[in-house]
Amino acid sequence: MSRPLIYAANWKMHLGPAAARGFIERFQALTRPEEGRRLWFFPPAVSIAAVCEALDGRADAAVGAQNVHWEAKGAFTGELSLPLVTEVGARIALVGHSERRHLYGETDEQVGRKVGAVLKAGLTPLVCVGETLAERDAGRTEQVVVRQVDAFAERVRDWEPVVIAYEPVWAIGTGKTATPDDAAQVHQLIRFQLGRHGVDRRVPILYGGSVNQGNVLALLAREELDGVLVGGASLDPDGWAELVGLRG
Ligand code: PGA
């Protein structure tokens, strides 16, 4: 394998502790750690501890929170802090997922604060960027993605732990996937923009949006992609084990 690949499973509001444990037990039975492959799981927060326990220290796997607050504690009803998710085993935090941005009004400014807090807490941020269909149709993809990257890039001193996901909003949960060329083009744009921020290392960039067993190989054939962030196709252990096991 030419480059390490990250396969990230975003379970969204699915799989409570019992179901999550069952998923991991089945997945463990189906897969073995492989050189150059990282497996990341983003269960609902109530299932983080169960997933960590079931993974039983598996060296190629890590567990993350789907969302965190930038403050370490305080009167923020319904929110989760980095110390809280870290205590139950999270080592990664998804930041700025389009469902957070578009359904809950999360702003670029808030995404930036969260990225800063995740890094300060010593966790890995998986920062999501991506344009809506209206923005793409209006020819504004580049402008939107650059703006989203700039908003958090200024908060980053050390890029070592940072991972980015390009997820075009129109491709998430819709069955419409960006073509490998579309995805690769935006990945190049993100990388170019990182260069303008003086980033001199290869920050991994994942693609997300209706990735499944049928299209993952064509996407990962593009060397611009360092992995995939998957929702729907990550919810079944057999399907997920198959997807992460496919090789071109
Ligand atoms: P999807 O979700 O694979 O179901 O499109 C991807 C995501 O939202 O991260």
Predicted local confidence at residue 18, as pLDDT: 98
Residue 211 alpha carbon, nearest atom of ligand 1: 3
Ligand 1 mean position, distance from CA 154 (Å): 27
119 CB under 6 A from ligand 1? Answer: no
The Å distance, Cα 198 to ligand 1 centre, comes to 30
* pLDDT computed for residue 176 by the predictor: 86
Residue 230 Cβ < 6 Å to ligand 1: yes
The gap from C-alpha 104 to its chain's centroid, in whole angstroms, comes to 18
Given this model, what pLDDT does residue 214 score?
Answer: 96
Question: Is the Cα torsion angle 108, 5, 240, 83 positive or negative in sign?
Answer: negative
Structure confidence at residue 35 (pLDDT): 92
131, 135, 167, 224: the catalytic one is 167
Q: Closest ligand 1 atom to the C-alpha of 209?
A: 5
pLDDT at 2: 66
The pLDDT, as a whole number, for residue 114 is 98
Q: Is the CB of 208 under 6 A from ligand 1?
A: yes
Contact 32, 59 (CB under 8 A): no
Asked if residue 167 has its Cβ within 6 Å of ligand 1, the reply is: yes
- Which residues are 189's β-sheet partners? none
pLDDT for res 153: 98
Question: What is the H or E stretch that residue 143 is in?
Answer: helix 141-153
Report the chain (248 residues): mean pLDDT per 10 consecutive residues.
88 98 98 96 98 97 98 98 98 98 97 98 98 94 98 96 96 89 97 96 96 97 97 98 91
Which of 205, 229, 243 is the pocket-test mutation for ligand 1 (most atoms within 8 Å of CB)? 229
Task: Count Cα atoms within 13 angstroms, Cβ side, for 172.
Answer: 23
